[in-house]
Amino acid sequence: MWENFEFKIAWCPICSQGWVEIVKDIETKELYVMCNECENEWDHPLEVKTSKARTEINENLVTIPTIEEIQSVDWGKYIIKE
């Protein structure tokens, strides 16, 4: 599930072992960012720097958003390009 690193936006500041990536909640269709290792979540890519992760522990079902969905919230500029 986490082998697609296409939309990574930061190296995780909490676990230092994974990438924070843009994901989409399947139920609410909301985009947010989540570490692919420790699964900490943030509402916005810029919040990752502040380490103010959400503390809720729930089993959100997420999927990888399309590039159009990312552009619709203007998060394309946060994606790390190699």
- Footprint of Zn ion (CB under 5 A): 12, 14-15, 18, 35, 37-38
The minimum distance between CB 22 and Zn ion, in angstroms, equals 15
State which residue, 31 or 33, has the beta carbon closest to Zn ion.
Answer: 33
Residue 32 corresponds to which tokens in the numbers above?
């947010």
Q: Would you give the DSSP letter of residue 59?
A: -
State which residue, 36 or 70, has the beta carbon closest to Zn ion.
Answer: 36
| 3-state SS record for 38-58 | CCCEECCHHHHHHCCCCCCCC
Contacts of 46 (CB under 8 A, 6+ apart): 78
State which residue, 38 or 71, has the beta carbon closest to Zn ion.
Answer: 38
